[in-house]
A = this chain, B = another copy of it.
Amino acid sequence: MIVLVTGGARSGKSALAEKLTLRNAESAVYIATAEARDDEMSARIAHHVARRGTGWHTVEAPHDLAAALEATDGQGPRLVDCLTLWLANCGSDADIGGLVDVLKRQRDPVVLVTNELGGGIVPDNALARDFRDRHGWMNQAVAEAADQVWMAVCGQPLRLKPARENDDFL
């Protein structure tokens, strides 16, 4: 079972992902891709840790996310928070296809958090456009492999996959 949770900044993605991860479990593995490089990032991480509370075992995987997934399969549901930071950490070395292959092999559930980055005006600089492009392709590839895709908006969950009554349209 692969679940992707997307949404804008401060849309309630992580809280929704935590809820989905613990649907049928009392504890879970939290796979953190963030690196606490500065005070702002440290504060964001502390905020998330405080909300999660107990019942979570944390594994840090800023770069080798595939290995962390393989190593934790069998330990119950995993929450990966988040794909955006993983892609940023890996730069152009990110092996998105390899990650999707590993995801498909997992026996225990994996819930992954990502971001909506493409909804604003076109960024001025080419590096930002390139990251936005690769990020969008990553989101599409993981969503294609996922059993469920959700978007958080104002903290409210919107289910995108499985879709509702689209069959007569598509």
Q: Chain A residues in contact with chain B, CB under 8 A?
A: 4, 6-12, 19-20, 23, 40, 114, 116-123, 126, 128-129, 131-133, 135-137, 139-140, 142-144, 148-149, 151, 153-161, 163-166, 169-170
Contact = CB atoms under 8 A, between A and B. Distances in A.
Identical copies of this chain, number? 3
Given A120-B117, A132-B10, A170 B4 contact: no
A143 B128 contact: no
Contacts of A126: 40
B6 A118 contact: no
Given A8-B119, A149-B154, A151-B153, 7 more contacts: A4-B154, A10-B136, A117-B122, A119-B120, A144-B155, A149-B153, A158-B160
